[in-house]
C-alpha cells in the first residue's frame, strides 16, 4: 500500500452505524406493543398467542420500515430488479419481496493514490502521490454498473496517473502540475461518470525524483543561473562602454566640459576623504615674485615711539 492511501475513505466504513439498529429496535418494539395491545382488546387477556403475534408483528414491522441518513441514498430491488432509490428519511419495503441492495454515501470522498517507480517519456523513474476528491451522484448506477466503486475509482485514478506520467518528461511533470491535474480529472471523469460518480478535483501532492537526478538537475540549474548572470553583466558592460564613448566624444568637443568634469571628480574625492588639495595658480606665483624682488627693509615699517 502506498503511504498516501492511508488517507483514503474506507470502503467498509459507514458514518453512522448506530442509527439503523436503534431505529429497527424502536420499530420492533412499536410493532410488538401495538400487536400486544390489539390482542389484549380482542381476547381480553395476554396469552401465548398474543405474545407470538406481537413478536411476528414486530419482526414484520422491522423488515418493512427503514431509515436513511441525510447523506445516504438507498437502492431498493424488487425480485432482483431495480425498483427505486429512496432517502433520506424513513422508507418502506415489502418483506421478502424487496430488499436494500446498496446504501450509497453521497458526501465527498477522498482517495489517495500513487504511481511508484513510473517511467517518464525520457526514461526517468519517479514517484508521484496524488489525492482524488469524488462523490456519488447516482446511487442506482453505482449499484448496477460497477461491483465495488470504491476500489474501481482508485484503480482508474492510478492507471490514469501512470499513463499521464509516461507521456511527459520529468521536467514537464514538475512544471505542469496544474495542467496534469486537469488532464487527470478529465480522464478519470470520463471513465467514472457512467458509474454515477463525478470527480470534483485531482491534486498532485508530491513528486519524488531520484537523488542522483536531483543533483544533476541542481547543477544544471546553477549553471543556467550563472550563464544568465554573466549575460546580464555583459549587457551592462556593453551599455556602460557605449555611454563612456558618448561622454568621451562630448569631452573631446568641449574643453570646458572636460575641466568641469575634472573639477567635479576632484570635489568628490576631497569630499569623501576629508583632505585638502593645494592647486598652484599663476596669480600666486606672480605674488611670490613681487615679494622676492622687494628689499627686506621696505617690507618692514618702523613703529611709532611713544
pLDDT in tens, 41-57: 887 777 888 888 888 98
**Model pLDDT, residue 40:** 80
Q: In what order do the strands lie in the sheet with 197-208?
A: 109-119, 125-136, 197-208
Who's near 122: CB < 8 A, 6+ residues apart? 169, 170
pLDDT (0 to 100) of residue 291: 45
Predicted confidence (pLDDT) per residue in 168-182, tens digit: 888 888 888 888 889
When mean pLDDT is compared across 9-13, 110-114, 160-164, 198-202, the lowest value belongs to 9-13
Res. 278 pLDDT band, cuts 50 70 90: low
Which among 82, 75, 81 is positioned nearest to 139, based on CA atoms?
75
Question: pTM score, two decimals?
Answer: 0.65
61 pLDDT exceeds 80? yes
Residues 56 and 39: their CA atoms lie apart, in Å, by 12
Residue pair 34/173 in contact by the 8 Å Cβ criterion: no
196 — phi, psi (to 5°)? Answer: 80, 25
Q: Which helix H or strand E contains 251, and what residues bound it?
A: helix 211-253
Residues 98-127, mean pLDDT to the nearest whole number = 87
Per the structure block, which three cell numbers stand in for 10? 474506507
Strand ranges in the chain using DSSP code E only, listed in sequence order? 65-68, 72-78, 81-86, 89-92, 98-105, 109-119, 125-136, 197-208
The percent of residues above 90 in pLDDT, for the chain, comes to: 24
Amino acid at each position: 500500500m502506498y503511504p498516501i492511501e492511508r488517507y483514503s475513505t474506507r470502503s467498509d466504513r459507514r458514518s453512522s452505524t448506530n442509527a439503523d439498529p436503534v431505529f429497527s429496535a424502536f420499530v420492533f418494539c412499536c410493532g410488538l406493543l401495538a400487536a400486544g395491545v390489539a390482542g389484549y382488546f380482542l381476547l381480553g387477556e395476554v396469552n401465548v398467542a398474543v405474545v407470538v403475534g406481537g413478536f411476528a408483528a414486530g419482526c414484520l414491522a422491522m423488515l418493512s420500515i427503514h431509515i436513511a441518513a441525510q447523506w445516504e441514498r438507498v437502492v431498493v430491488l424488487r425480485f432482483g430488479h431495480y425498483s427505486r432509490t429512496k432517502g433520506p428519511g424513513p422508507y418502506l419495503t415489502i418483506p421478502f419481496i424487496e430488499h436494500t441492495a446498496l446504501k450509497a454515501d453521497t458526501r465527498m470522498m477522498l482517495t489517495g493514490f500513487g504511481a511508484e517507480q513510473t517511467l517518464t517519456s525520457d526514461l526517468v523513474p519517479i514517484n508521484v502521490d496524488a489525492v482524488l476528491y469524488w462523490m456519488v451522484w447516482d446511487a442506482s448506477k453505482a449499484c448496477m454498473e460497477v461491483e465495488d466503486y470504491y476500489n474501481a475509482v482508485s484503480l482508474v485514478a492510478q492507471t490514469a496517473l501512470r499513463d499521464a506520467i509516461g507521456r511527459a518528461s520529468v521536467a514537464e511533470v514538475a512544471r505542469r502540475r496544474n495542467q496534469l491535474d486537469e488532464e487527470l480529472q478529465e480522464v478519470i471523469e470520463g471513465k467514472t461518470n457512467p458509474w454515477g460518480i463525478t470527480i470534483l478535483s485531482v491534486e498532485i501532492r508530491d513528486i519524488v525524483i531520484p537523488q542522483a537526478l536531483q543533483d544533476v538537475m541542481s547543477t544544471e540549474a546553477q549553471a543556467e543561473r550563472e550563464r544568465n548572470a554573466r549575460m546580464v553583466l555583459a549587457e551592462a558592460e556593453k551599455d556602460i562602454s557605449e555611454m563612456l564613448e558618448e561622454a568621451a566624444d562630448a569631452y573631446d568637443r568641449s574643453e570646458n566640459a572636460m575641466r568641469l568634469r575634472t573639477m567635479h571628480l576632484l570635489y568628490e574625492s576631497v569630499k569623501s576623504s576629508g583632505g585638502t588639495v593645494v592647486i598652484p595658480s599663476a596669480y600666486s606665483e606672480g605674488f611670490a615674485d613681487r615679494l622676492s624682488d622687494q628689499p627686506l627693509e621696505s617690507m618692514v615699517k618702523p613703529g611709532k615711539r611713544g
